[in-house]
Amino acid sequence: MIGTIDLNSAMQAVDRLVKSVDTDDPTQTPNAVALDRETVREAITRLCWTAEARDIMFTAVACCCAVDPSEMSFLGLLWYIRQNGGTRRIFETENGAQDSKVVGGYGIVAPMMAARLPAGTVRLNKPVRTIDSRDATTVTVTCSDGERFVARTVVLAIAPVQQLRIEYHPALPPAKLQALQQFKMGNTIKTFAYYDAPFWRELGLNGSAVCDTGIVAVSMDDTKPDGTLPCIMGFALSDQVATVDAMPDAELARSLGAHYAALFGDARGHCVRRVKRSRWASETWIGGALATWSPVCLTTHYKAMTASLAEGRILIAGTETARRNPGYVDGAVEAGERAGRNALVQIGKLPSSARDAVDIPCESVQMPFVPLEWTPLERWLPSLSSFIVGAGATMAGVAAVLALRHSSRR
Ligand SMILES: Cc1cc2nc3c(=O)[nH]c(=O)nc-3n(C[C@H](O)[C@H](O)[C@H](O)COP(=O)(O)OP(=O)(O)OC[C@H]3O[C@@H](n4cnc5c(N)ncnc54)[C@H](O)[C@@H]3O)c2cc1C
């Protein structure tokens, strides 16, 4: 009860601060520098009175950003929450950034888009190694196999850490080089525990869980839509990654089995038949997951991280630069569309008024927009400090009345 009151008031305090964050540019937020110099761990410790509320908030941050809260800027977290529609919106399924799944898996989207372009437009297995913008009107991109492409503008739609792996002529401006070194990827291993049957469904459970103990923080039912391959997918995040990484398969199966047996309260959880894991930090050209997080000193480095190069001929996209839903696919699409429009402005195919315009997405037919408001009880529930002060004052008042009555009877 006390923990719930505390968590509610901490989340209300965070949402009040979130409303003050500048949507387009976090550095313009009132009190930006002070908020930025505080880590998320420091801020949560300041806002929460109880260990229960603190631990839930730490777990929530790890789930969204796959980072230890002591590594992330509080301003960065507030900005992330603002861009993603508030604390509620992030955690709710309906209308949240992760409200939909792609039938057939997300991996089919890029090939389907590529198939609509003229043959040979999308070239795979061609990491870009150098970008030369010394010519005043063109940019030359050279791939690892030596093939060159010359263009009037180039869009770099890759994570900041990946931009560091390219050699630039001329060299990157110092502020950009410093900024790119700050924005690191989160750390995640995705685990898959396969069962003979989805026993959790028989218990009336959907398999989704968030847990602040054990070897995975977030789990979901990953059984195929036709009911084959019953599976619980679990994310090991941040400080759980090293433990999961070091485990042989048999030990991982035992540990995940014990975790799900305890979580779903059923001994069948132990009967894991097979495990699989995806280590996102071993994806050379991505470098981690789920996305890049905001370092302390965001105010110093944000503008340089997103700034274009070579007088606008090299544009920066990628989900990190999105104004809406950064860190998610939605954000990547928004950033890509903006960079594409800016490229057309740069080569004179669109008027300069189109520069940096952000499209408002049309409403999804399958998932119409639903307002997500705090309930009146949540909004008006006192904070733990006022609850304690109020309870103390009430008890003092009652004690004073009793004392008065007692002395008047004498
Ligand atoms: C495990 C996991 C789960 C996720 N779950 C969700 C979810 O449920 N919902 C959601 O919305 N988002 C989710 N995300 C986040 C989402 O995948 C990212 O936000 C999104 O893919 C970012 O898109 P992007 O275009 O910015 O970058 P990327 O998708 O990283 O694309 C960049 C591409 O550039 C390539 N590249 C890098 N360097 C070079 C180079 N030098 N030359 C050529 N190519 C290069 C990379 O190989 C990569 O293919 C998840 C991410 C992970 C890892």
- For ligand 1, say whether the CB of 369 is within 6 Å of any of its atoms: no
Confidence category of residue 325, pLDDT binned at 50, 70, 90: confident
Please tell me whether residues 303 and 180 are part of one structural domain.
yes
How many A from CA of 328 to the centre of ligand 1?
Answer: 9
Please tell me whether residues 338 and 222 are part of one structural domain.
no
Listed ranges 147-151, 389-393, 398-402; the one with the highest mean pLDDT: 147-151
Residue 92 pLDDT exceeds 90: no
- The answer to whether position 363 is within a domain reads no
**Between these two residues, 371 and 173, which has the higher pLDDT value?**
173
Lowest mean pLDDT: which of 77-86, 199-208, 347-356, 370-379? 370-379
- For ligand 1, say whether the CB of 289 is within 6 Å of any of its atoms: yes
For ligand 1, atom 2, the nearest C-alpha belongs to 290
Please tell me whether residues 21 and 75 are part of one structural domain.
yes
Domain-ending residue, one of 245, 264, 282: 282
Q: Which atom of ligand 1 is nearest to the CA of 188?
A: 1
- The answer to whether position 97 is within a domain reads no
For ligand 1, atom 32, the nearest C-alpha belongs to 158
Lowest mean pLDDT: which of 188-202, 256-270, 366-380? 366-380
The pLDDT of residue 185 is 93
Mutating to test ligand 1, I would choose from 158, 238, 277 the residue with most ligand atoms within 8 A of its C-beta, which is 158
- For ligand 1, say whether the CB of 144 is within 6 Å of any of its atoms: no
Look up the pTM and report it. 0.87
- For ligand 1, say whether the CB of 327 is within 6 Å of any of its atoms: yes
Q: What percent of the chain has pLDDT over 70?
A: 93
The pLDDT of residue 191 is 98
Average pLDDT over the chain reads: 90
Q: What is the mean pLDDT of residues 281-296?
A: 89
Confidence category of residue 361, pLDDT binned at 50, 70, 90: low
Residue 181 pLDDT exceeds 90: yes
Residue 31 pLDDT exceeds 70: yes
CATH number at residue 380: 1.10.405.10
Domain-ending residue, one of 250, 282, 314: 282
Mutating to test ligand 1, I would choose from 109, 184, 285 the residue with most ligand atoms within 8 A of its C-beta, which is 285
For ligand 1, atom 34, the nearest C-alpha belongs to 158
The pLDDT of residue 97 is 65
For ligand 1, atom 37, the nearest C-alpha belongs to 285
The pLDDT of residue 21 is 94
**Between these two residues, 318 and 401, which has the higher pLDDT value?**
318
Residue 183 pLDDT exceeds 80: yes
Lowest mean pLDDT: which of 22-31, 154-163, 228-237? 22-31
For ligand 1, atom 44, the nearest C-alpha belongs to 127
Domain-ending residue, one of 254, 282, 310: 282
- The answer to whether position 308 is within a domain reads yes
CATH number at residue 237: 3.90.660.10
How many A from CA of 286 to the centre of ligand 1?
Answer: 7
Please tell me whether residues 37 and 76 are part of one structural domain.
yes
Confidence category of residue 17, pLDDT binned at 50, 70, 90: very high
Domain range holding 334? 106-114+125-184+290-354
Number of residues that this document lists for the chain: 410
Please tell me the total count of domains within the chain: 3
The pLDDT of residue 34 is 95
Q: What is the mean pLDDT of residues 274-286?
A: 93
For ligand 1, atom 19, the nearest C-alpha belongs to 328
Residue range 363-390, pLDDT digits in tens? 777 777 777 677 777 777 766 667 677 7
How many A from CA of 335 to the centre of ligand 1?
Answer: 13
For ligand 1, atom 20, the nearest C-alpha belongs to 329
Lowest mean pLDDT: which of 11-25, 79-93, 99-113, 391-405? 391-405
